[in-house]
């Protein structure tokens, strides 16, 4: 799994193809990034010629920001679009269609040398991450734990993972300030792997790719609940709550009029189960895949009808 993500990371920002045709530009969530890069690589290998696809990550919020400026065709999103993002995009005529491409479980991780944090409750995470928290050592969180300072490695505020973890799962307005944020999940992984007293969170695939360097912390949804570890099975069956979430791509409707975009998105959705699994996530189930393809067919039919009605008749 690690080698797969390394290959994907090396693909960052690479433009496939040459010539005058504009590339399909994909940007947004670093969590969804591995799935879209897997789609880019597989599509480039599968089709004749060299299609032009670029995949980057600036966080879900950053991807929507670029989309609103007309710079992006497809947004990788680890959360649903916010109302203000949709309002701004649609006000500029940049309509989109959303597709579900996988399921994630945000993973809270510590250094493997940390053997005492056997589980954390949502209440403990709230107390730990809230703005103005006075918890600075492990003993502050649990009197049986060592009196050692905690180092925090987390996504930055543009990240959909940040939004889901802080705002949705923990119901906090803001995260504490004394953290080391990054838009790059690999930076967070390396920080935790190199710091014995560290704690952080990121998408499940990054934990799966680095299990020998990290330890996932099981989560209790309430103080008296059984701790649930992030696993393919617990994400799939919905028991890893409240840190499970769907992953999306938002595709610009106008961009679907270009054959390369339509062909790439079709390939992506036809193979999304394999691509999501390859990237380390839980793939969409059969019903979700069918819904994706039905929606895609509607978009294509709408575009075809619009082009037919706008074509002059001799």
Give me the phi and psi of 209, to 5 degrees please: -75, -10
**Band of pLDDT at residue 306, cut at 50, 70 and 90:** confident
77's tokens: 């999103």
The reported pTM is 0.87
Options 3.30.420.240, 3.40.190.10, 3.40.50.300, 3.40.50.970; CATH for 2-103+245-310 is 3.40.190.10
pLDDT tens track for 194-238: 999 999 999 999 999 999 999 999 999 998 999 999 999 999 898
Q: Where are the domains of the chain?
A: 2-103+245-310, 107-236
Instruction: Name the helix (H) or strand (E) containing 259.
Output: helix 259-270
Model pLDDT, residue 309: 73
Residues 158 and 160: their CA atoms lie apart, in Å, by 7
74-77 and 24-28 as β-strands: parallel, antiparallel, unpaired?
A: parallel
Same CATH topology for 2-103+245-310 and 107-236? yes
93: left (phi over 0), alpha (psi -120 to 50) or beta: left
pLDDT tens track for 103-116: 999 999 999 999 99
- Check residue 106 and report its DSSP letter: -
Q: Which residues of 15-48 are buried (b: 16+ CB within 10 A; e: fewer)?
A: ebeeeeeeebbbbbbbbbbbbbbbbbbbbbeeee
Please state, rounded to an integer, the average pLDDT across all residues of the chain.
Answer: 91
Model pLDDT, residue 17: 44
Q: Is the confidence at residue 20, as pLDDT, over 70?
A: no
Residues 227 and 148: their CA atoms lie apart, in Å, by 24
pLDDT tens track for 117-158: 999 999 999 999 999 999 999 999 999 999 999 999 999 999
Instruction: List, in order, residues 6 or more apart from 208 with CB less than 8 Å away.
Output: 1, 280
Q: Is the confidence at residue 92, as pLDDT, over 50?
A: yes
CATH 3.40.190.10 matches 107-236: yes
Model pLDDT, residue 16: 42
């Amino acid at each position: 799994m690690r080698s797969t993500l390394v290959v994907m990371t090396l693909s960052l920002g690479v433009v496939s193809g040459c010539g005058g045709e504009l590339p399909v530009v994909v940007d947004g969530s670093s969590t969804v990034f591995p799935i879209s890069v897997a789609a880019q690589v597989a599509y480039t290998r599968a089709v004749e010629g060299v299609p032009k696809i670029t995949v980057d990550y600036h966080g879900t919020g950053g991807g929507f920001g670029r989309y609103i400026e007309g710079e992006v065709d497809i947004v990788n999103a680890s959360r649903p679009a916010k109302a203000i993002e949709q309002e701004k995009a649609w006000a500029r005529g940049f309509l989109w269609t959303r597709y579900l491409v996988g399921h994630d479980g945000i993973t809270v991780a510590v250094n493997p040398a940390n053997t005492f944090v056997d589980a954390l409750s949502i209440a403990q995470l709230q107390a730990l991450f809230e703005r103005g928290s006075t918890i600075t050592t492990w003993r502050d969180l649990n009197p049986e734990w060592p009196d050692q300072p905690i180092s925090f490695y987390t996504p930055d505020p543009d990240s959909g993972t940040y939004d889901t973890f802080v705002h949705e799962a923990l119901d906090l307005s803001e995260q504490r300030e004394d953290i080391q944020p990054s838009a790059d999940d690999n930076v967070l992984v390396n920080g935790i792997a190199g710091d014995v007293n560290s704690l952080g969170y990121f998408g499940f695939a990054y934990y799966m790719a680095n299990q020998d360097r990290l330890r996932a912390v099981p989560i209790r949804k309430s103080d008296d609940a059984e701790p649930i570890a992030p696993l393919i099975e617990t994400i799939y069956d919905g028991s890893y709550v409240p840190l499970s979430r769907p992953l999306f791509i938002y595709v610009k409707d106008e961009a679907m009029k270009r054959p390369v975009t339509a062909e790439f998105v079709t390939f992506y959705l036809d193979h999304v189960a394999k691509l999501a699994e390859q990237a380390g996530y839980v793939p969409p189930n059969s019903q979700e895949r069918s819904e994706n393809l039905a929606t895609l067919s509607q978009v294509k039919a709408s575009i075809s009808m619009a082009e037919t009605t706008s074509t002059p008749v001799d």
